[in-house]
Chains A and B, each alone.
Chain A
C-alpha cells in the first residue's frame, strides 16, 4: 500500500500566512521525513521526525507526528514567496532500505 498520502493536494496562500499540510500513512514507521521540491528541481530534505518524537522544529518549520493516528503535519509559519513548492512526506520502515513518498502538496505563496 502507498505510504504517505498528503491532504490537501493544493494550497494557495498570501505571503506572511501560515501553511499547513498533512500526511497520512498506513504501516508502522521508524521515521517520517518532509521534502520540498521547487519547480523543475530535485527534492530537498527539510526535516526528519522519529517515531518516538511528537513534535520537531526547524526554523519556520514545525512538524508533528501522531503515530496512533498514523499522521503527520507540516506547518510553515510566516510564508514567503520562495516557499512556493511541492512538499512531500516520506516514511521509513526499519530494515526496509527505502523511503516511501506520498503524492505531494502543491503550495503557492502569493506575494
Chain B
C-alpha cells in the first residue's frame, strides 16, 4: 500500500553510464517532484510535473531528463553519470497545482534511491 514508491532503492554504477530511476504514486495526485539530497542532507528540487506537464525545471544539467508517461508516474533518466551525481534522489507528490499555488501543498515522499557513482 505504499503511497509513493521508487525503484531501485540502491543504484551503484560506473562513471559514464546511463541509468533510470522510476517513481509511481497511487494517491491520485496531479503533481510530482524529483529532489536531490546531498551528503549534508540538503534537499534541492530538480523537477516538477503537473498532470504530465513540466512546471519546474531548476538549474539541472541536461544529462538529467524527467519523463512523465502519465500523472501517476515520473521517471528520471540520467546520462553520462558523474561522481558528483552521487546522492539520494527522492520522488514526491502533492495533490494538485491549485492547492500548491495556494500553499496547501503537503508533499508525500518516496523512500529514496541512493545513487553511488564510482
Contact = CB atoms under 8 A, between A and B. Distances in A.
Interface stretch (A17-25, A55-63, A67-75, A98-106): A98-106
Interface stretch (B14-22, B36-44, B62-70): B36-44
Contact of A31 (B4, B48, B56, B103): B103
Contacts of B4: 42
Contacts of B56: 97-98
A33 interface: yes
Contacts of A26: none
A98 B48 contact: yes
Interface residues of B, number: 26
Nearest to B103: A30
Interface in B53-86: 55-56
Interface string A86-108: 10100010110111010110000
B111 A41 contact: yes
A50 interface: yes
Contacts of A104: 41-43
Interface of A: 30-31, 33, 35, 37, 40-45, 48, 50, 86, 88, 92, 94-95, 97-99, 101, 103-104
B107 A99 contact: yes
A43 B109 contact: yes
Contact of A42 (B40, B102, B105, B110): B110
B103 A92 contact: yes
B105 A92 contact: yes
A94 B101 contact: yes
Given A40-B112, A98-B45, 8 more contacts: A42-B110, A43-B90, A45-B106, A86-B41, A98-B56, A98-B100, A101-B42, A101-B43
11 contacts: A30-B103, A41-B111, A42-B4, A42-B90, A43-B43, A45-B107, A94-B101, A98-B45, A99-B45, A101-B43, A104-B42
A103 B41 contact: yes
Contacts of A44: 109
A97 B55 contact: yes
A73 B107 CA distance: 20
B99 to A, nearest CB: 10
